[in-house]
């Protein structure tokens, strides 16, 4: 492979905007640029695009268009779901989430703790999955809300969302005050078929830039009848739940990107899975003392999280970058702290420091994987040569 070529293996951080999506968005910048709330032709045309996007996304999620609310990103969808539902209940109560959530959820719950709510953070097993049994045990008479992610952003592990929703249905049947259930499906959207009826959740968040749409646009699905309040105030956009002039080009692009992702879901899954397995097999065969974090089977196909013992993940990222390869350390390693996800999974702190996340997209190729495998062992070896512990073992 030509060394000027770049290999992008950070698709869980964000994705390339697809050419079909750019084409879909173009008219809403330059021709149909009206404010969707305006009464004139330009506004009406923009409103048509908004309605069409809402209807398309609703169909793809098996929801009704009135249950789809456009937001500014996945983080905003998560925050609106959590704070919007919790504050609408009108009283303080108990909340349930997990220790492996994205910070958009985790920090929201930590903030609610400061406001006087009690939160149970469920522990995951070694693969990163929490259990429906533990969830049921955590439910209390004063529980009002729960949020459990669908696919973990660092290790890809799937949480038992459908099982928990089914358990909650039974629990709620015998209660006066319903426990509302939200899932952060940001890393699952476009990789796993999402059907809100089958899943049984009350609220679900997705983010366009994770599946080929631009950054800065998201969706919150809110089941009809859920008690929720706005968290920002202004115009009556999005049925008053999320004021602010809608980003019509990005919303149209997100609907197109979601449609493309869902239409090609099986084909992309097969391709991405084969690349991930090829990289995993190559790493395990060529490099000693590595650990794969997460289960692999009960997970989205596009994430491979590997701990390289005796090195810092960040140092390896720099070396990879010098060879044109983009990967990531997951989330929190930038601060020098081991990731909260790997810590919760009881990954040894030293191994957690050496963790790197490779995340695939459908345009990655086997040639790119072969290229990574041709340069990675030597990089790891050179970094390990600086570790006294590693040298002592040799």
Residues interacting with ligand PLP, by CB under 6 A?
73-75, 78, 102, 104, 149, 153, 184, 186-187, 207, 209, 218
Residue with Cβ nearer ligand PLP (355 or 375): 355
Q: How many whole angstroms from its chain centre is CA 274?
A: 21
Rounded to whole angstroms, the Cα distance separating 312 from 305 reads 14
Residue (32 or 81) nearer to ligand PLP, CB: 81
Residues in a beta bridge with 95: 119, 145
Q: Helix axis angle, 103-114 relative to 74-88, nearest 10°?
A: 30
Minimal distance, residue 10 CB to ligand PLP, in Å:
11
CB of 15 to ligand PLP, least distance (A): 11
Say if CB 258 and CB 213 are below 8 A apart.
Answer: yes
Nearer to ligand PLP, 164 or 379 (CB): 164
* Contact between 45 and 34 (Cβ < 8 Å): yes
In whole angstroms, how close is the CB of 218 to ligand PLP at the nearest point?
Answer: 6
Sort residue 190 into left (φ over 0), alpha (ψ -120 to 50) or beta: left
Catalytic-residue membership of 333:
yes
Please give the residue whose beta carbon sits closest to ligand PLP in the complex: 74
Smallest distance, Å, CB 98 to ligand PLP?
Answer: 11
Can you tell me the distance from the alpha carbon of 358 to that of 372, in angstroms, rounded to the nearest whole number? 11
Half-sphere exposure of 246 (CA within 13 A, CB side): 33
DSSP state of 176: S
Residue 18 CB, nearest approach to ligand PLP (Å): 17
Residue among 43, 113, 105, 110 nearest 75 (CA): 105
Helix (H, G, I), strand (E, B) or coil at 254: helix
Of 339, 11, 298, nearest in space to 159 by CA:
298
Q: How far is the CB of 45 from ligand PLP (least distance, A)?
A: 27
Give the span between the Cα atoms of 282 and 272, in whole angstroms. 15
Q: Please identify, using beta-carbon distances, which residue of 75 and 120 lies nearer to ligand PLP.
A: 75
Structure-block tokens of residue 178: 């319903």
Which is nearer to ligand PLP, 313 or 330 (by Cβ)? 330
User: What does the alpha-carbon distance between residue 144 and residue 62 come to, in Å, rounded to a whole number?
Assistant: 25
Q: How many CB atoms are closer than 10 A to CB 163?
A: 15
- C-beta atoms surrounding 26 within 10 Å: 14
Active-site entry in 333, 356, 376, 383: 333
How far apart are CB 329 and ligand PLP at their closest, in Å? 13
Cα gap 48→45, rounded to integer Å: 5
Pick between residue 103 and residue 178 the one whose CB is nearest to ligand PLP: 103
Nearer to ligand PLP, 102 or 237 (CB): 102
Question: Which has the closest alpha carbon to 126: 329, 307, 316, 284?
Answer: 307
| Active site members | 333
């Amino acid at each position: 492979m030509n060394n000027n070529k770049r290999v992008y293996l950070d698709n869980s951080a964000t994705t390339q905007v697809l050419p079909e999506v750019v084409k879909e968005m173009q008219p809403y910048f330059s021709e149909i640029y009206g404010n969707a709330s305006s009464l004139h032709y330009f506004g009406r045309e923009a409103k048509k695009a908004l309605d069409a996007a809402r209807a398309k996304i609703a169909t793809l999620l098996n929801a009704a268009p009135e249950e789809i609310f456009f937001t500014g990103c996945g983080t905003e969808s998560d925050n609106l779901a959590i704070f919007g539902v919790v504050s609408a209940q009108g009283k303080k109560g108990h909340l349930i989430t997990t220790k492996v959530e994205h910070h958009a959820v985790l920090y929201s719950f930590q903030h609610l703790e400061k406001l006087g709510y009690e939160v149970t953070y469920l522990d995951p097993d070694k693969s990163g999955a929490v259990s429906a049994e533990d969830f049921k045990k955590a439910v209390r008479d004063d529980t009002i809300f729960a949020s459990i992610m669908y696919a973990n952003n660092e290790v890809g592990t799937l949480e038992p969302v459908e099982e928990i929703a089914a358990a909650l249905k039974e629990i709620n049947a015998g209660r006066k005050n319903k426990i509302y259930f939200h899932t952060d499906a940001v890393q699952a959207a476009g990789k796993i078929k999402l059907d809100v009826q089958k899943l049984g959740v009350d609220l679900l968040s997705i983010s366009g830039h994770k599946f080929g749409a631009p950054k800065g646009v998201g969706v919150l699905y809110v089941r009809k009848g859920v008690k929720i309040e706005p968290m920002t105030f202004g115009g009556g956009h999005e049925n008053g739940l999320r004021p602010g002039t809608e980003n019509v080009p990005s919303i149209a692009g997100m609907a197109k990107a979601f449609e493309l992702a869902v239409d090609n879901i099986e084909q992309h899954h097969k391709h991405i899975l084969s690349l991930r397995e090829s990289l995993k097999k190559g790493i395990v065969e060529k490099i000693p003392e590595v650990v794969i974090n997460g289960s692999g089977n009960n997970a989205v196909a596009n994430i491979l999280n590997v701990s390289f013992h005796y090195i810092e993940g960040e140092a390896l990222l720099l070396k990879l970058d010098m060879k044109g390869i983009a990967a990531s350390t997951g989330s929190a390693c930038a601060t020098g702290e081991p990731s909260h996800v790997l810590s919760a999974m009881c990954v040894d702190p030293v191994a957690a420091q050496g963790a790197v996340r490779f995340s695939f997209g459908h345009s990655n190729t086997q040639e790119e994987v072969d290229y990574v495998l041709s340069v990675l062992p030597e990089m790891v070896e050179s970094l390990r040569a600086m570790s006294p512990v590693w040298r002592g073992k040799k």
